Amino acid sequence: MARDTGMAGKVALLLWGAQTTQLLVEPPWRPAVLWDRVTLTCQSSKTAGVTTWYKDGGRWWQEKQDHFTVTESGTYECDRPGSGRSPPVTVSNARLVLQMPAWELLEGDTVTLRCRRWENMSVTGVRFYHGDKEVGRSLNGTELSLSPLQLHHSGRYRCGGRVGSKVAPSALSAPVTVTVHELFTVPVLEGPPEPTVGSPLTLSCLSTPSPLRPRASLLHVFYRDGQVLGGPQVSPQLLVPAVGVSHSGNYSCEMRSEGGAVRKSSARLHVTACLPVSNATITLSPLSHQVRAGDPVTLCCSVQVGSAPVTFTWLHNGQEVARGPLLELGAVDVGHSGIYQCMATNELGQDGHQALSPVLALEVTTQEQGTALAAGLSGSLLFLVLLLAVIGGCHQWHCQALRKQQER
241 shares its domain with 263: yes
356 shares its domain with 297: yes
Q: Mean pLDDT in the chain? A: 78
Residues 6+ apart with CB under 8 A from 100: 29, 30, 111, 113, 157, 176, 178
Q: Is residue 165, in this structure, part of any structural domain at all?
A: no
261 shares its domain with 309: no
253 shares its domain with 298: no
Q: Out of 58, 93, 128, pick the residue that ends a domain.
A: 93
- Reported as a single tens digit per residue, the pLDDT across 343-394 is 887 664 444 566 777 778 888 887 665 554 444 445 555 555 555 555 555 5
- State how far the Cα of 324 lies from the Cα of 183, in Å rounded to an integer: 44
Name the helix (H) or strand (E) containing 243: none
292 shares its domain with 222: no
Determine the average pLDDT of the residues in 140-167: 84
Q: Please measure the distance between the N-terminal and C-terminal CA atoms of the chain and give it in whole angstroms.
A: 116
327 shares its domain with 259: no
Q: Is residue 152, in this structure, part of any structural domain at all?
A: no
- Reported as a single tens digit per residue, the pLDDT across 156-188 is 999 988 876 654 557 889 999 999 999 999 999
Determine the average pLDDT of the residues in 128-135: 91
- Reported as a single tens digit per residue, the pLDDT across 54-92 is 999 888 887 778 888 999 999 999 988 777 889 999 999
What pLDDT is recorded for position 220?
96
Q: Is residue 197, in this structure, part of any structural domain at all?
A: yes
26 shares its domain with 83: yes
226 shares its domain with 311: no
Determine the average pLDDT of the residues in 326-340: 84
Determine the average pLDDT of the residues in 126-149: 85
34 shares its domain with 78: yes
What pLDDT is recorded for position 350?
44
Q: Out of 66, 93, 120, pick the residue that ends a domain.
A: 93
For residue 158, how many other CB atoms are within 10 A of its CB? 19
Is residue 259 a contact partner of residue 108, using CB atoms and an 8 Å limit? yes
What pLDDT is recorded for position 275?
61
Q: Is residue 340, in this structure, part of any structural domain at all?
A: yes
Determine the average pLDDT of the residues in 336-341: 86
Q: What is the CATH number of the domain that holds 346?
A: 2.60.40.10
312 shares its domain with 355: yes
Q: Is residue 209, in this structure, part of any structural domain at all?
A: yes
- Distances, alpha carbon 290 to alpha carbons 302, 333, 336, 358, in Å: 22, 12, 11, 17
Q: Is residue 378, in this structure, part of any structural domain at all?
A: no
Q: Is residue 402, in this structure, part of any structural domain at all?
A: no
Question: Which of 149, 140, 139 shows the shortest CA–CA distance to 212?
Answer: 149
Cα-Cα-Cα-Cα dihedral sign, residues 129, 134, 139, 144: negative
The 3-class secondary structure across 113-154, one letter per residue, is EEEEEHHHCCCEEEEEEECCEEEEEECCCCEEECCCCCHHHC
Residue ranges making up the domain that contains 65: 1-93
Query: 256 versus 401: which is more confidently predicted?
Result: 256
50 shares its domain with 75: yes
- Return the percentage of the chain with pLDDT > 70, whole number: 74
The amino acid at 130: H
Going by DSSP bridges, is the β-strand pair 84-85/74-80 parallel, antiparallel, or unpaired?
A: antiparallel
Q: Give me the residues paired with residue 330 across strands.
A: 297
Is residue 226 a contact partner of residue 215, using CB atoms and an 8 Å limit? no
Q: Out of 62, 93, 124, pick the residue that ends a domain.
A: 93
Burial-class residue 355 by CB neighbours within 10 Å (0-12, 13-18, 19+): middle
- Return the percentage of the chain with pLDDT > 90, whole number: 33
246 shares its domain with 333: no
- Distances, alpha carbon 220 to alpha carbons 143, 215, 231, 233, 294, in Å: 35, 15, 6, 5, 32
What pLDDT is recorded for position 366?
78
- Reported as a single tens digit per residue, the pLDDT across 252-304 is 999 999 888 999 999 999 988 776 554 433 233 344 577 788 888 888 777 65
For residue 186, the SS3 value is coil
Q: Is residue 123, in this structure, part of any structural domain at all?
A: no
In this structure, the chain runs to a length of 408
What pLDDT is recorded for position 392?
56
What pLDDT is recorded for position 280?
36
- Distances, alpha carbon 123 to alpha carbons 96, 100, 138, 281, in Å: 9, 18, 11, 84
Domain count, the chain: 3
Question: Does the pLDDT value for residue 334 go beyond 60?
Answer: yes
Determine the average pLDDT of the residues in 19-25: 82
